[in-house]
Structure formats: structure tokens, C-alpha cells
Structure 1
Amino acid sequence: MNGNDWQELLYLMLPDGYARNGQRLNAELQAEGNTLASVERSAQDMLNGVTPFTAVALLSDWKRVLGLSVSNGMTIQARRQQIMAKLVETGGLSRNYFIRLAKSLGYDVTIDEPEPFRCGRNRCGDRLWIPEIVWVWIVNIQDGQVPVYRFRCGSSATGERLMSFGQNMLESIFRDLKPAHTQVVFNYVENKT
């Protein structure tokens, strides 16, 4: 309801015979109606903020609680995707866990775990890695994918661009989740067809 609807409802609550056309009374009821409409909008924002699917005003609170970095210029859709990615994290150390996590964010990745060169196991032409390479893993991101966010009613806000390109959240999420003793390297692979 808007302020005028609330004002009309407040008029109906006045006792019978009360002068309804007074200038001060109209101003008071209009102010009260606008206040009630504002409270109703705030309550709806709080209700929508219960989940990140519908949150708008409370997205910054979701990001703060989840410990996500705040980036200026991110669209509402991108912020929701970042929050949902953080919420879906279940934890894991396997290749499959990180591949599934990337898939849930819309990326096709493969993960390589290089091994050092060993006599008797490797042969001429194999890459020479140092022994410490066992602590490095390489994430190959197919087609150098970057999320594209198109303006959508209900999912975008006034003033946002009709189309924007999101940040590659995959790198920051993987760096947050990787085992502390390892180093992750990102390799953007372009498919040549």
C-alpha cells in the first residue's frame, strides 16, 4: 500500500462525526500514512533479505556476514552469485570437489597436478619440474570464461547497465578454499576451432 492508501485507512478509523476535511488533520494523516508506507516497505525489504535469492537492501549484510570482499560496480546478480557460491561451499580437498564447485559457478575447468621429473619413470621430452612442484596445482579454465550479466526485471536495479561482465570470482574462491600449503595457478585456455 502507498501513503494515500494508509491515509484513507486512517480516515476510516476516525470516530463518527469527526471533521475529516480539516487542513491540519489531512496533513497529519498524510504524514502518518507516508510513515506507515515506509515501514511496510522496510518490512518487505527485511522479509526479502531472509534469503539472498530475493535480497536487495540486505545484500551488503550478507556479504559482511560471509566475509566476502565488497567490489564497487558489481551488479545485483553478480553479488547474489558470489553469496550463493559462498553458501554452497561444503569443503573438500579433492580435484572433483573443485571441479564441481567451478561447474556450479558456470565454469568448465580441469585441474592438473604436476609431478617432478623422476628417472626411470619419465623419459626424454617430459617436462622437468622441481621437487617442490608437488605443492602446485594448475586450474585450466576453458575459453577464458567471464560471467555475463544481462539486465533483468526483478534481478537488477535501476541504474545498472543493460549488460555487464562480472569479475572472475573463481580465482578468489579457489584461493580462499585451497589448502594453505599449496599454490594454485590459473591457466586460461582458449579453444581454437
Structure 2
Amino acid sequence: MAAPSFSAADYLGALQALMPRGRIWPRDVSSVQAKVLAGLTKVYEAQNQRANNLLVDAFPQTALELLPEWEATLGLTATSAGPAATFAARQALVVARLIGANGIAAGDFADYAALLGYSITVAGNAPFRCGQSRAGAHVGDVDRMFEWIVTAHALPSMPFGSYGPALLQQEMQRLAPPYGFLKFIFN
């Protein structure tokens, strides 16, 4: 159900209907009383439209006027999604931050990246262990166990414009556990 939208004429009719009856309370639109009421109804119409906009702005996915408020609440700035970010990009970043990653597993990173408009895969490494690793596996140090390889697949639309890869890296680094190392590959 859409929010009701009332015009100044609707409000004028309502105000005139609330007036007492009698000769000194004319209903004629050319009367002084009707002109005074008509001056008030323009404000009521504007307030009605603003209230309807508030219903839209209450949700970050559709926010326009309150987008800066949503961003400030989450510690973002207008340029967090890039120097020339669109409203859609800024809204997507706010929604992603609100919904966020629900954990630090590879699947959680992929879900978070999808909220931003990216398709990624995350693979982890494990150090060589005698009896557990396969032949031909990379022999490396223990730090490789905490390295995740984030592969961003074909970014045809570049959801965040030319700032695209930088935003993905910034957000993934923010979510990474403190002991983790991220390596990015952009296909």
C-alpha cells in the first residue's frame, strides 16, 4: 500500500469542512478566509510529501536525503565508496556494512562481496605437513596457513566505477581476522 499523497486542494477542502457553518464562514474559494486557508495548505502538502520521503529514507537501500546520516552512523564518508561514487554505490556500501559478514569463513567473505556487487572466491592455504599434504604441494612456512587468496571474477560493470578494486580490497582487509593475510587476484 502506497503512502497517501494529499494535494493543497485536498487540505483546503478538509479545513473548510472543519469550519463552523454560517454566513460568516463562507465556502467560496474567492473569499478572504479561503485564501488564508489556501496559504496554509501549501505547507501541509509539502509536509505530506516530506513525510512520504521519510518512509523511503528510513531504509538504507532506498535512502537519498538520509544517506549521509546512514553513512555517518556506520563511520563512512561520502567518498568511502569512491571519489565519484553514485548514490547506488553509496547505498550498496551502507547496506553491506549493516548486513555485514556474519563470520570470517571464506563463504562469509563471498557473501559480503556479493552485497557490494562483486563475485569472488576465497581459497586458503595450508603449510606442507608430512603425511597430510599431497605430493607436489607447495612447501612453505607456517604464515601461509593464514593467507587467503581472494579472486575477483570478471568485474564487467565495475559496480563502484574506477574505484572498484580498491573498495573491494579495503572492505575485505577491514573484515579479515587480525592474523590473516589477504592476497588479491583480479581476473
- The TM-score, its normalising length taken from structure 2, stands at 0.69
Q: Name which of 64, 78, 93 aligns with 2:72.
A: 64
Alignment-derived partner of residue 158 in structure 1: none
**Which stretch of the first structure deviates more once superposed, 165-174 or 114-123?**
114-123
1:6 paired to 2:7: no
Q: 1:144 to 1:46 in 2, by over 3 A?
A: closer
Report how far residue 15 of structure 1 moved.
2.5
1:38 counterpart residue number: 46
**Structure showing the higher helix proportion among its residues:** 2
CA contact (8 A) 1:146 1:167 kept: no
Show the counterpart of 1:91. Answer: 102
Q: In the superposition, relative to structure 1, how do residues 90 and 119 fare at CA in structure 2: closer, same or farther (>3 Å)? A: closer
**1:186 counterpart SS class:** strand
Q: Matched residues, percent identical?
A: 23
2:3 maps to which residue? none
CA contact (8 A) 1:3 1:34 kept: yes
Match of 1:151 in 2: none
Q: CA deviation at 1:60?
A: 2.1
Q: Do the aligned partners of 1:116 and 1:131 also contact (CA within 8 Å) in 2?
A: yes
Aligned to 1:183: 181
Deviations 1:6-32 (A, max 9, x none): 223323333332244334x34422221
Provide the C-alpha distance between the structure 2 equivalents of 1:49 and 1:78, rounded to a whole number of angstroms. Answer: 16
Structure-to-structure mapping, 1:144-159, within 5 angstroms: 144-148=155-159
2:15 is matched by which residue type in structure 1? L
Unaligned stretches of 5+ residues in structure 1: 149-163
Q: Does 1:82 align with 2:90?
A: no
The number of residue pairs the alignment matches comes to: 172
Which residue is 1:161 aligned to?
Answer: none
- For the 8 Å contact 1:48–1:54, the answer to whether it is kept is yes
On the 8 A contact 2:95/2:115 being kept in 1, the answer is no
